[in-house]
Amino acid sequence: MKNSTRIMSLLALSTAGVLAFGGCAAVEAETVGDGNDDKKELSLAVFNGWDEGIAASELWKAILDEKGYDVELEYADVAPVFSGLSTGDYDLTLDVWLPDTHASYLDEYGDDIVDIGAWNDESKLTIAVNEDAPIDSLADLADNADKFDNRIVGIEPGAGLTKATTERVIPTYGLEDMEYVTSSTAAMLTELKSATDKGENIVVTLWEPHWAYTDLPIKNLEDPEGTLSSVESLHAFAQSDFAKEFPQAAKWIGNYKMDLEQLYSLEKAMFVDYDGQDFGPVVEKWISENRDYVDSLTAE
């Protein structure tokens, strides 16, 4: 099954992320050299299952490694990443969604972490169905719930998307009688893949950008009441001393921009055309094919 290895491996990453959080090494005082006074070792935290963040993180790992840094990707769930940034156990993360999705974490940790900048402002939360589903709007879902086995398949219980679905989507559209199943992004993607392969109807919580939109026959349900209408920006956040310890990297990442076309191209290379976990060669090939863009990210 295409992407089956990819989807199942997300489950393993969740466990690995907990171990990574407990074992983050302290950043050493070595600098990169060649006139760059940044510290050499940089821990880049990645949310388990958030593929746009995985793609951006793998890209920046390759870029920074090429510049003489030693970047360690540390996988963890969302809450431990924010906590780790606030205590300095992690240096940076690239996948903070604002103004809504991760707002509660900013309320809790915002005084102890720093917004380096937004690199994409075209993202949004969605409710998706199979492309040939008999409805096109959330307004019609309650009356057709039986055609979807009376289920909405979600992701992690603590996700901002889960909260938005529970607090806004379900009550607004009268979906309280549907079972809202939450477990993990990997489990949702497995069900979505299985249903579309079999030609069955399914409703899932999803977001754009995501490689599923390039690989699976799905569509977003219209949201006439605007429960998920706000466009989100993807931000890089860092530990409080990041700009002092990594002034050059902070400048590069603060200026980083990546539009949806570029991001989908990278996600397709990593998650659709490739079925594995060793992303290094895949990203290096993508960089070689997009050299002008990549070089612009660190241009003076």
Please report where in the chains the tokens 């989100």 appear, as a residue.
Answer: 232
- pLDDT at residue 100, rounded to an integer: 87
- pLDDT at residue 25, rounded to an integer: 37
For the chain, how many residues are written? 300
Is-above-0.85 flag for pTM?
A: no
Please report where in the chains the tokens 């050499």 appear, as a residue.
Answer: 40
Distance CA 127, CA 203 (A): 7
- pLDDT at residue 20, rounded to an integer: 39
Q: How many CB atoms lie within 10 A of CB 133?
A: 20
User: What's CA 148's distance to the chain center, in Å?
Assistant: 27
**CA separation, residue 52 to residues 107, 123, 279 (Å):** 23, 10, 13
Distance CA 298, CA 295 (A): 6
- Report the amino acid identity of residue 222: E
- pLDDT at residue 36, rounded to an integer: 82
Structure tokens at 50: 């958030």
- pLDDT at residue 278, rounded to an integer: 95
If 0-12 CB within 10 Å is exposed, 13-18 middle and 19+ buried, where does residue 172 land?
middle
Query: What is the rounded (10 degree) CA torsion for 243, 238, 22, 267?
Result: -120
Distance CA 167, CA 5 (A): 33
Smallest CA-to-CA distance from 22 within 95, 75, 63, 78 is with 75
Please report where in the chains the tokens 């399914």 appear, as a residue.
Answer: 202
- pLDDT at residue 300, rounded to an integer: 74
- pLDDT at residue 16, rounded to an integer: 42
- pLDDT at residue 35, rounded to an integer: 65
Q: Which residues contact 205 (CB under 8 A, 6 or more apart)?
A: 125, 126, 127, 128, 152, 153, 154, 155, 161, 162, 165, 188
- Output the tens digit of pLDDT for each of the chain's 300 residues: 445 445 544 444 444 443 333 333 333 446 666 668 899 999 999 998 899 999 999 999 999 999 999 999 999 999 999 999 999 999 999 999 999 889 999 999 999 999 999 999 999 999 999 999 999 999 999 999 999 999 999 999 988 899 999 999 999 999 999 999 999 998 999 999 999 999 999 999 999 989 999 899 999 999 999 999 778 999 999 999 999 999 999 999 999 999 999 999 999 999 989 989 999 999 999 999 999 999 999 997
Structure tokens at 236: 């890089």
| Strand, coil or helix: 240 | coil
**Pairing status of strand 36-39 against strand 41-47:** unpaired
User: What's CA 158's distance to the chain center, in Å?
Assistant: 14
- Report the amino acid identity of residue 14: S
Distance CA 267, CA 274 (A): 10
Q: How many helices (H) and strands (E) does the chain have?
A: 13, 11
- pLDDT at residue 21, rounded to an integer: 37
